[in-house]
Amino acid sequence: MVMAAFYASTHPAHADDTRRSVTMACNPFPPSKIDENIPLPGYDVELLRAAFAVGNLALETPFYPWKRAYLLAEEGRVDGLCSCSYTVERERDMLYSTELGRVRIGFFSIAGHIAQNITSLADARDLRIGVVAGYNLENAAENAGLTVITANSEQVLLGMLYNNRIDMIYSFREPVLVAHKKRDTLFSLQYHEVSQAPYYSCISRRIDDARSLLNILNHGISTIRANGVYHSILEKYGVADITDIKQPTAWIN
């Protein structure tokens, strides 16, 4: 029974099957995707549940490190990814949904350790920069000529920052803040915002009903935006203002 359930959750439906569920691989990315938190699984997970529910589809969201999650979706062993940033290279493997949300992107350093004002990638060329392996930010940093050191999570990068193995973390704002707050440390972080960007949910091109599933998801996202469910989910997590990003910010926390 367990093996049957696993097979069903890791093999795509064929076009002639009647779908009842969708499996989207998530990577831990709090507060939008929170592993092992049933009451509050993350606002992206809840948004996707609500969107697929419009099409009468249940959603399963197993969690993996980002590179593993991407591989499973790339191979069609899951239906897609809970969320992903856009890159041209990923279009070979994925169909992008309409915009699911927006993120802030920047550099984190220990407060007082970086003298210069960082407002662009070019400003960090003489520093050791930590990035989560497989994020689109890794390629962006390398293409900008930065000295890049990778790790498999924001938590690991913070440990490297605290121990002076890197000078700054280049990442999405929210997961770094959440990871920092969980640590018992006297260090304060300084944040240097570089950009903001939209992100999407992605459907694997390897599944038979990829286009159909994408249409269902897009219709669901449009519906929950229109009926207020989208906003109410963001409000529950205290991030309703994330859709109204204005000027870049810099602060010490």
| 131: CB partners within 8 A, 6+ apart | 137, 138, 141, 148, 149, 150, 151, 157, 169, 170, 171
**Which of the pair, 183 or 48, is modelled with greater confidence?**
48
**Same domain assignment for residues 57 and 174:** no
Residue 12 falls inside a structural domain: no
Looking at the predicted structure, is the pLDDT value of residue 108 above 80?
yes
Strand partners, 204: 94
Q: Per mean pLDDT, which range of 18-27, 123-132, 151-160, 180-189 is the poorest?
A: 180-189
Let me know whether 91 and 216 are in one domain.
yes
Say what percent of the chain tops pLDDT 90. 74
204 and 93 within one domain: yes
Of the pLDDT bands very low, low, confident and very high (cuts 50, 70, 90), residue 252 is low
Domain identity same for 111 and 190: yes
Say yes or no: 54 and 163 in one domain: no
Whether 182 and 227 share a structural domain:
no
Same domain as 143, residue 206: no
Would you state the structure tokens that stand for residue 145, as one six-digit string?
Answer: 């000529």
Query: Can you give the pTM of this predicted structure?
Result: 0.78
DSSP, residue by residue, 130-179? EEETTSHHHHHHHHTT-EEEEESSHHHHHHHHHTTS-SEEEEEHHHHHHH
Q: Distances in Å between the alpha carbon of 222 and those of 50, 52, 55?
A: 11, 11, 12
Q: Which of 31-35, 116-120, 210-214 has the lowest mean pLDDT?
A: 116-120
Mean pLDDT in the chain? 88
Q: Are residues 32 and 81 in the same domain?
A: yes
Residue 252 lies in a domain: no
Looking at the chain, the whole-number percentage of residues with pLDDT higher than 70 is: 88
Question: Is 125 found in the same domain as 97?
Answer: no
Task: Let me know if residue 4 belongs to a domain.
Answer: no
Report if residue 86 sits inside a domain.
yes
CA distance 63 to 120: 32
* Domain co-membership, 177 together with 236: no
Do residue 96 and residue 112 come from a single domain?
no
Give a yes or no: residue 15 inside a domain. no
Q: What is the CATH number of the domain that holds 84?
A: 3.40.190.10
Q: How many domains does the chain have?
A: 2
Tell me, what's the pLDDT at 240?
A: 80
Structural domain boundaries, residue 58 = 20-102+199-243
Q: Is the domain of 78 the same as that of 132?
A: no
249 occurs within a structural domain? no
